[in-house]
Structure 1
Amino acid sequence: MLNSHQSVGTFAPRYRFGMSRPGSRKSFPFPVDWEDDSFSIGLFVPMIGVAGIWGPSAIACATLAAEEINRAGGILGREVRLKCFNASDEVEDVAQMTRELVDSGSIGAIVGMHTSSVRRAVIEGCQGRLPYVYTALHEGVERSPGVYTIGETPDRQLRPAIDMLVNQRHARRWMFIGNDYEWPWISHRLARSYVNQSGGMVLSEDYVPFGAEDFDVVLQKIEEVKPDAVLLSLVGQDAIDFNRAFGQAGLSHSILRLSCAVEENILLAIGEGNADNLFVSSGYFGALTDDANMSFKERYHQRFGQRAPTLNSLGQSNYEGIHFAAALALRALEQGNGRPLEYKGVRGIGWTSNSAISYPVHLARADGHLFRVVKSF
């Protein structure tokens, strides 16, 4: 694992994007020291705690992207260096850490994959002074200055999935269960309207703290209410613990589960015997067979081997986030705002602004230790 001062990749510049340096720092939003031959990106990902399961794949995918950029000449002719920082919910003073990094000038941009509560702390510390690319799924349009979001939102991720499960799988009675913070709160508020619009009803909402471990009370309520489906907005280890207990309680045979944050690592940890009727809505699955993903998987495993961290949506988002930051730097230099940002990705995202973004979404069903896509939206 990289430490916070370790660079990645081999720098073999072949071009400098064909552009001259900007006339003034004011006209160029990236705080670049033009006497330096490197460009440091702060990679903010969880490395411990509830969401720590996502860390290894996030770092590996970001490393691959940085190495690809360096082989193509770097960012504005400068070698990309990743500096990795622990952005777990269990870390205290993330805002202060961010503020000190920005004040020191040791990073030129931030790419982050972590919970929305950590995102708020990073925004507080950054205060729009650096570009901040947030790659994870989230609860809606982010309007804070300098923040660029490329992850899925409930309108695209939940609305069509709920409609399909209500009308094709007869899942009309729902319970919502999530961790107690803003992503589940806001997503569930929106999901309630999607269920109602599809002809279903929401029977209850329940929230648990990070690291809940014991889900006996929630499971007892499920047995009493007897919903057709449960929407799960649980993070990392909490999703693992709940789904294991759900399966062991014998509920998975008769009740559907829908999640937006269960990915391949979590599915492996849940176990095949606990994954019946588990559906996930996401913009990416490692099992996708399109040309872009097959090429990405080949490059990933060539670099990290067959025992590489498991590919998944949240890890892969960091690959796109690093490439997005590089393209953002080029566009800033060209002063090309107002047109779609072109950058190397896997999912085929079209990004013009946080409120004007397009991407595919897939609904998959757990099939043993893999996801099988049943519908693309």
Structure 2
Amino acid sequence: MLSSPSITGSFAAPYQFGQRVKRGGQQRASAWRDGDRTFSVGLFVPMSGVAGIWGPSAIACATLASEEINRFGGLIGREISLKCFDASDEVEDISDMTREVVESGSIDVIVGMHTSSVRRSVIEGCRGRLPYIYTALHEGGEGSNGVFTLGETPERQLRPAIEMFVSERHARRWMFVGNDYQWPWISHRLARRYVHEAGGTVLSDTYVPFNVGDFSEILERIEREKPQAVLLSLVGQDAIDFNRAFGHAGLASRTLRLSCAIEENMLLAIGDRNTEDLFVCSGYFGALGDDANMGFKERYHQRFGQRAPTLNSLGQSTYEGVHFAAALAARASQRQGAGLIEYGGVRGIDWRGNANVTYPVHLAQVDGHFFHVVRTF
């Protein structure tokens, strides 16, 4: 059984908020007495490469969160500052970069929105010396020391959507396509079970490297084997390229597609001619009309203007990540024990541990360039 990080345990040793790690791994306990009145959040998000399309909105959302916290007095009297780092899969030696940043004492906490493969590198570099809040959807089961996960997992995203498609759309023949790393590997292994339990079958499970570009062989296989549904676990530009090619091949009119990682920016890039019968399951869409999201969107556009980076699930997750970091630090400073973490989010997440996170999940059908929520699980 995987354990989730406790509040008192994780923040008592080997680090505490207000005690930054300096080079060599020793604590600089006098950090705040030295006149440093900032609380520095290391924001690890992709700014280039296949997932670079997520970067602008992630930075904007994290900026909004930090400014909101500062406007109301900061974090336990300290001003939050952001330091951004490129956490793209194409960046070499992310573990070394993380280790150097942690040992330099320049950040107090990491908020990361990036792929699971990058997460493994950040964990290797951090080694539990700072709290690391991972905000993106992921494959689940993260039990590393000091890592706090907020994002959706396959049990909440894929299982109800697959069951619905098998029972209501009679989509019993599935093909899986994903990038070649652990999020698709584990998600597809779980999804295969969900399909079988619902009464369907998986015809094939294919993985491609990042930036593959050419999907003609996979599209030919889809044309030949005629699945009723395709599960897509492709990231960023790869998902854009695949869905464009899928539409151009004339497959959209007879094969539904399900993804957990397509968001509003990518939808615009895919093009409305290529989105017929495309569904996305996510904890957040910019189109949600509840009061919390309407207020969030108003604050976002007041701060960044109407031409701000398009709001989406992955970008919005860093807003929640920064607020979660603040709530976590405040709780640790009060030496409170583990339990429910309450913080300023949009989705209404209850976090009681990495294995005990509750949040709504929405299934949306793409309508041109827009998401239309058809079911909430």
Regarding TM over 0.5, the answer is: yes
Structure 1 residue ranges (4+ consecutive) displaced by more than 4 angstroms after TM superposition: 24-27
d(CA) in 1 for partners of 2:368, 2:228: 22
Q: Is the 8 A contact 2:58 2:316 kept in 1?
A: yes
Letter aligned with residue 176 of structure 1: F
Aligned twin of 2:37? 37
d(CA) in 2 for partners of 1:84, 1:338: 29
Q: Is the 8 A contact 2:18 2:32 kept in 1?
A: no
Residue deviations 1:291-332 (CA, integer Å, cap 9, x gap): 000000000000000000000000000000000000000111
State the shift of 1:336 in Å: 1.9
Aligned twin of 2:366? 366
**Matching of residues 44-55 of structure 1 within 5 Å:** 44-55=44-55
Q: Is the 8 A contact 1:324 1:343 kept in 2?
A: yes
| Secondary structure in 1 matching 2:242 | helix
d(CA) in 2 for partners of 1:53, 1:337: 38
Letter aligned with residue 88 of structure 1: S
Farther off after superposition, 49-58 or 34-43: 34-43
Residue deviations 1:148-192 (CA, integer Å, cap 9, x gap): 000000000100000001111111100000000000000000000
Letter aligned with residue 135 of structure 1: T
State the shift of 1:30 in Å: 5.3
Aligned twin of 1:344? 344
Residue deviations 1:36-68 (CA, integer Å, cap 9, x gap): 110111000000000000000000000000000
Aligned twin of 2:229? 229
d(CA) in 2 for partners of 1:299, 1:285: 16
d(CA) in 2 for partners of 1:100, 1:30: 19
d(CA) in 2 for partners of 1:96, 1:248: 42
Q: Is the 8 A contact 1:30 1:131 kept in 2?
A: no
Question: Equivalent pairs: percent with the same residue?
Answer: 71
Aligned twin of 2:117? 117
CA spacing shift, 1:133–1:74, aligned 2, 3 Å: same
d(CA) in 2 for partners of 1:194, 1:166: 10
Letter aligned with residue 72 of structure 1: F
Aligned twin of 1:304? 304
Letter aligned with residue 60 of structure 1: A
State the shift of 1:223 in Å: 0.5
d(CA) in 1 for partners of 2:360, 2:105: 36
**Matching of residues 176-215 of structure 1 within 5 Å:** 176-215=176-215
Aligned twin of 1:14? none
Q: Does 1:249 align with 2:238?
A: no
d(CA) in 1 for partners of 2:239, 2:13: 45
Letter aligned with residue 271 of structure 2: G
State the shift of 1:280 in Å: 0.3
Q: Is the 8 A contact 1:30 1:130 kept in 2?
A: no
d(CA) in 1 for partners of 2:108, 2:254: 51
d(CA) in 2 for partners of 1:30, 1:149: 22
Letter aligned with residue 137 of structure 2: L
Taking structure 2 as the reference length, the TM-score comes to: 0.92
- Structure 1: which 5+ runs fail to align? 1-23
Letter aligned with residue 188 of structure 2: H
d(CA) in 2 for partners of 1:179, 1:121: 17
Aligned twin of 1:12? none
State the shift of 1:28 in Å: 3.2
| Secondary structure in 2 matching 1:50 | helix
Aligned twin of 2:83? 83
d(CA) in 2 for partners of 1:187, 1:197: 15
State the shift of 1:335 in Å: 1.9
State the shift of 1:31 in Å: 2.7
| Secondary structure in 2 matching 1:75 | coil
Letter aligned with residue 83 of structure 1: K
State the shift of 1:75 in Å: 1.4
CA spacing shift, 1:107–1:227, aligned 2, 3 Å: same
State the shift of 1:72 in Å: 1.0
**Matching of residues 6-45 of structure 1 within 5 Å:** 28-29=16-17, 31-32=19-20, 33-35=31-33, 36-45=36-45
Count residues with an aligned counterpart: 354
Residue deviations 1:332-374 (CA, integer Å, cap 9, x gap): 1122222200100000000010011100000000001100000
d(CA) in 2 for partners of 1:276, 1:337: 49
RMSD (Å) for aligned C-alpha atoms: 1.1
d(CA) in 2 for partners of 1:178, 1:140: 17
Letter aligned with residue 95 of structure 1: S
Q: Does 1:153 align with 2:141?
A: no
Farther off after superposition, 309-318 or 32-41: 32-41
| Secondary structure in 2 matching 1:184 | helix
Q: Is the 8 A contact 1:39 1:78 kept in 2?
A: yes
- Structure 2: which 5+ runs fail to align? 1-11, 21-30
State the shift of 1:29 in Å: 4.9
